[in-house]
Amino acid sequence: MSKKPLRVGMIGYGFMGRAHSNAYKQVGQFFPSQHEVVLQAACARNEAEIRKFADQWGYASIETDWKKLLDRKDIDVVDICTPNNLHKEIAVAAAQAGKMILCEKPLAMDSKQGAEMVAAVEKAKVPNMVWYNYRRIPAVTLAKKLIDEGRLGRIFHYRAKFLQDWTINADLPQGGQGLWRLDAAAAGSGVSGDLLAHCIDTAVWLNGRLDTVCCMTETFVKERKHNLTGKVEKVGIDDACIFMGKFANGSLANFESTRYARGHKALYTFEINGEKASLAWDLHDLHRLQMFDYKDEGKIRGWKSIHVTDNGGEHPYMDKWWVPGLAIGYDCSFTHQVADFIQGLESGTPQGPTFRDALETQQILDAMLDSAKQQKWVTVAK
């Protein structure tokens, strides 16, 4: 059977450009569908660099101006892997050009931009998705299944952390490849939009709407040299962010993120405590889901560590990979996301997180930063 091509135009070739390209190359082998992903064009401003990237990953062509990429008739889906300040402009133009869009997170710099992006894709009726990829780590997807089956009962608490330590050095500049994260003009915010956005997406997916928040942020290093201007400039991002909140289901939220937790590289953890059971997950041990089930017999009741690698169909995605007991990695969450996007196209039921889903996370981020500024509780806009 001849497959329908899904011709990708990738914008950006950094960390995510590589993670997504890897997923596009893997997906057809492990998740066969009626579509065949074609690496049609890669785009970035530096011609030599994007040529090198295109050759390495097997893209058929290059562009150095994303507007030219959007003009091309041979591109079906645009993948936005640029810093956050470019997401809106590219996504709105891509929607107007009738392209499907896969956009990196956070959706936008703020919810005003996010709302414009939602309006554009919904007006153009183009399939869209945002790369909140942690939903598709099998242990996290299993947590969703267990919660939806009612195994936790009434939920009391949801707590999450995302801890790193790579910006402690005050000599680290802001601006440029990777380091744009320290520049508020490119990133919008600091650890809140970069790291907590992931925790919030997972939390809302697992536990429903977050209604109110009370937040505190800190910028430990106030000035850094800017890589692009060469001048020492004020740092406008949050280096650390802690917030509490209340979910619509009555449970309490407790979140923390920082890039100043010496010793932690990417410690994303969450725990959810219900009346009947609790679940816990840790990115450093990503194939395991911890569960405490109160209905277990008393003398053997305790936390159990579920190795989410069974291929019998009970552990999400794992029937497509190896034999039971063999773990898969971080990279596979992106492969799963592409597989689900294609499945959404073929079934006619869009798979989340869509731009609209991601707007909810953006509204929570806005409420958090507003709360931190005003030093008071803020209701999340709906």
Residues in the chain, total: 382
For position 107 contacting ligand NAD by CB under 6 A, the verdict is no
Number of residues this chain uses to bind ligand NAD (CB under 6 A): 24
Taking the alpha carbons at both ends of the chain, their separation in whole angstroms is 46
CA distances from 165 to 16, 177, 260, 261 (A): 20, 18, 5, 5
Site for ligand NAD in 133-172 (CB under 6 A): 133
Q: Interacting stretch for ligand NAD, rule CB under 6 A, among 27-35, 174-182, 239-247, 264-272?
A: 174-182
- The CB density around residue 98, as the number of other CB atoms within 10 Å, is 12
Cα Dmax for the chain: 66
Q: Which stretch binds ligand NAD (CB under 6 A): 11-19, 212-220, 288-296, 362-370?
A: 11-19
Residue pointed to by tokens 């998705």: 129
Residue entry with tokens 């971080």: 330
* Contact mark string toward ligand NAD, 180..199, x via CB under 6 A: x-------------x-----
Q: What region, left, alpha or beta, does residue 274 occupy, with left being phi > 0 and alpha being psi -120 to 50 degrees?
A: beta
Task: Candidates 24, 66, 243, 247: give the one binding ligand NAD (CB under 6 A).
Answer: 66
CA dihedral 113, 118, 124, 126 (to 10 degrees): 120
Out of 56, 96, 177, 305, point to the residue binding ligand NAD (CB under 6 A).
177
Contact by Cβ (8 Å): 112, 334: no
Residue 56 lies near ligand NAD (rule: CB under 6 A): no
Report, in Å, the least distance between residue 18 CB and ligand NAD: 8
- Output the smallest distance, CB 305 to ligand NAD, in A: 24
Residue 358 near residue 195, CB atoms below 8 Å: no
Report if residue 361 touches ligand NAD, rule: CB under 6 A. no
Look up residue 364 and give its amino acid. I
Among 76, 79, 104, 110, binds ligand NAD (CB under 6 A): 104
Choose the stretch contacting ligand NAD; rule: CB under 6 A; options: 14-22, 166-174, 224-232, 271-279: 14-22
Stretch touching ligand NAD by CB under 6 A, among 177-185, 247-255, 288-296, 342-350: 177-185
- What's the CA gap between 170 and 198, in Å, rounded? 26
**Rounded Cα–Cα distance for residues 363 and 359 (Å):** 6
3-state secondary structure of 88: helix
* Cβ closest to ligand NAD, residue 43 vs residue 78: 43
The smaller minimum CB distance to ligand NAD, of residues 13 and 355, is found at: 13
| Tokens, residue 56 | 């390495």
Looking at beta carbons, which residue is closest to ligand NAD?
A: 14
Interface pick for ligand NAD out of 8, 10, 39, 43 (rule CB under 6 A): 43
**Would you count residue 45 as binding ligand NAD (CB under 6 A)?**
yes
Among 24, 57, 59, 131, binds ligand NAD (CB under 6 A): 131
C-alpha distances in Å from residue 364, one per residue of 38, 119, 204, 213, 243: 36, 19, 10, 8, 11
Binding residue for ligand NAD (CB under 6 A) from 8, 23, 78, 81?
Answer: 81
Binding residue for ligand NAD (CB under 6 A) from 21, 26, 40, 82? 82
- Nearest to 189, CA basis, from 369, 381, 380, 378: 369
Among 44, 62, 92, 214, contact with ligand NAD (rule: CB under 6 A)? 44
The nearest distance, CB 105 to ligand NAD, in angstroms, is 5
Residue type at 332? Answer: C
Give the interface segment with ligand NAD, choosing from 41-49, 218-226, 261-269, 318-326 (CB under 6 A): 41-49
CA 122 → CA 52, 54, 115, 127, 361, distances in Å? Answer: 36, 31, 11, 9, 18
- Which residues lie near ligand NAD (CB under 6 A)? 11-17, 43-45, 66, 81-84, 86, 104-105, 131, 133, 177-178, 180, 194
